[in-house]
Amino acid sequence: MIPIFTKKEAEQILNAEDSVEASLDLGLSKTKIDIEDGFAVIAGQKIPIDEFKKVKEGFFYVVEDSTLKKVAIFSDETNLYYKLLPTTDWPTITLSSVPMHRHIHMSPKRDTETKIKEISPVKGRVLDTCCGLGYTAIMAAKYADEVITFERDENVVGLCRLNPFSQEIFTNKKIKLTEGSIFEEISRFKSESFDRIIHDPPTFKVSPELYSDGFYEELYRVMKKGGILYHYAPSPGKTKGKAFYENMIKHLKAATDFEDIEYHERSSGIRATK
């Protein structure tokens, strides 16, 4: 695992004399960091102590060429700014400031738990349409036999590699991550091949095709009879959010025969059964 840290660990290093026990994996474990002649030694690299004075709140940092580098990148290709953002527990990711998990009124971990609860009991084969940081896939894999997930953006997969809480998407044998678009890939699945579907797309503005009638038809086709769908409904503002999920329900009803279609405020999403 690549060492990763925040201002908290930087301050521990700045306040240390000869050595300090600090976490370089967001609290999962602790590592002894030696301080030698004005340098902190991390993963065999000597970083000048002054580097740690530059560390700001609201960012994660990794070590590169004996300097500290923010975990944030701009891609010319997608025209998006990607940032791993510290929260009270698991990091979230922002794509040009739009967070991919709820993280203000509830933490990303709690956000994931509420989504997984919607498809309980989680069992059999699960389709997690949009991997993101892999939290829904990883939590579903605790109970399911297999989780199939997709991520179309290589920059997001790159951030997963740095995030200690995303590692299972690469190591858990029950999880099959494909780097590609679910919009194109869904047609390769046989009808009635999933017991549960988690559809957690970005906003409509970013990925309108993932809210289209054609895509909803495909979600219905690949779901087994008795299966449960959870579809996250981004709510930009309370009034706008209501109009938005009502429209999503209208489209799900028009395009599919999903039943018991209901919006649940606790998970900010729609649950439906086949």
Ligand X SMILES: C[S@@+](CC[C@H](N)C(=O)[O-])C[C@H]1O[C@@H](n2cnc3c(N)ncnc32)[C@H](O)[C@@H]1O
List contacts with ligand X (CB under 6 A).
100, 112, 130, 132-136, 150-153, 156, 181-183, 200-202, 207, 210
Report in angstroms how near the CB of residue 119 gets to ligand X at its nearest.
Answer: 12
Name which of 90, 14, 24 is nearest 61 in CA terms. 24
Report in angstroms how near the CB of residue 89 gets to ligand X at its nearest.
Answer: 13
| Distance (Å, whole) CA 216 – CA 224 | 14
Of the pair 51, 196, the CB lying nearest ligand X is at 196
Of the pair 13, 129, the CB lying nearest ligand X is at 129
Of the pair 135, 258, the CB lying nearest ligand X is at 135
111 phi/psi in degrees, rounded to 5: -55, -45
Of the pair 22, 222, the CB lying nearest ligand X is at 222
Neighbours of 178 (CB within 10 A): 14
- The residue with its CB nearest to ligand X is 132
| Distance (Å, whole) CA 228 – CA 127 | 11
One-letter amino acid at 136 equals T
Report in angstroms how near the CB of residue 200 gets to ligand X at its nearest.
Answer: 4
DSSP letter for 49, please: G
Report in angstroms how near the CB of residue 178 gets to ligand X at its nearest.
Answer: 9
Read off the tokens for 33.
């960091």
